[in-house]
Amino acid sequence: MTFEIFLQQLANGISVGSLYALIAIGYTMVYGILRLINFAHGDIFMMAAYFMIFSMVNFSLPWYVSTVIVIAATILLGVVIEKVAYKPLRDASRMSIMISAIGVSFLLQNLATYLFTGVPKGFPDIPFLTKAISFGNVSLSMVTVVTPIITIILLFVVLFITNKTKIGMAMRAVSKDFETAKLMGININNVISSTFVIGSGLAAIGAILWGSKYAAVMPVMGVMPGLKCFIAAVLGGIGNTTGAVIGGFILGMAEIMLVSFIPPLTGYRDAIAFVILIIVLLIKPTGLLGEKVTDKV
């Protein structure tokens, strides 16, 4: 392998990793507050990609207008899902609420298959993102370069919201202790909705970048990234935003490096995330940056 190819793969790994990071933030925030693996998150991401196709191809809106519409529509979808499928189950057992999440994920996939058919659809071309640029002998598409930058900026935005604003303070309080936060007069439903707003918004941005990178959209496209991003969130320490981003980067790099250094193992690309998950859960279940929690009887 030449040095150029190595650099190319490195850039690729960083960009895949930062896409994972964007989606992982949504998982980690929801888990931090509701203690729920939002199985539907990957499918919200998939719906966002379809929204983008609709907006740009069917309504021929320019990409910057579409981006805003898609983010808004995805946020709406995320909040509606929370209100319809998770809110009524707030007092139910964790198994029930998780089954509900699986149900939503299943429903979104089937709905997408029904509405848009299972045949992959081409993602509309955003000239700004798909144009190629080269550094010396290394040629990259713009999206590869832009993705990590956007991710880092958004990470700081999310950190600012959670650490410096009032709603962020409420989020932290709720994730520390749900019941006490409620007693202190925090409006739990608003807090939960705002985590879904942030998570779905990031998923929408992730979907636009993902679509520009891989150019094909299909109903099951959210499943694997969804699972992997949850794993990234666990790896980084669930409930921790910075951890989720670090986890995403590690996972993306691990995948791309496996494929580029050991080509015979390419078929196992999707398995590596699960292997990492199981190792993390066995060695350090709290993840890299997670806090230690003890079980109370």
> From CA 167, how far away is CA 2, in angstroms rounded?
50
CA atoms within 13 A on the CB side of 12: 18
Would you say 219 and 116 are in contact if contact means Cβ atoms under 8 Å apart? yes
> From CA 73, how far away is CA 69, in angstroms rounded?
6
> From CA 44, how far away is CA 112, in angstroms rounded?
11
User: Shortest distance, CB of residue 284 to other proteins, whole angstroms?
Assistant: 13
User: Shortest distance, CB of residue 138 to other proteins, whole angstroms?
Assistant: 31
Question: Distance between alpha carbon 245 and the CA centroid of its chain, in Å?
Answer: 10
User: Shortest distance, CB of residue 274 to other proteins, whole angstroms?
Assistant: 3
- The residues binding other proteins (CB under 8 A) are 35-37, 85, 88-89, 92, 94-96, 98-100, 102-104, 106-107, 109-111, 113-115, 117, 227, 230-231, 234, 267-268, 270-271, 273-275, 277-278, 281-282, 285, 295, 297
Q: Give the pair of three-digit tokens for residue 6.
A: 């190595």
Task: Tell me whether residue 22 is exposed, middle or buried, using C-beta atoms within 10 angstroms of its C-beta: 0 to 12, 13 to 18, 19 or more.
Answer: buried
User: Shortest distance, CB of residue 281 to other proteins, whole angstroms?
Assistant: 6
User: Shortest distance, CB of residue 211 to other proteins, whole angstroms?
Assistant: 22
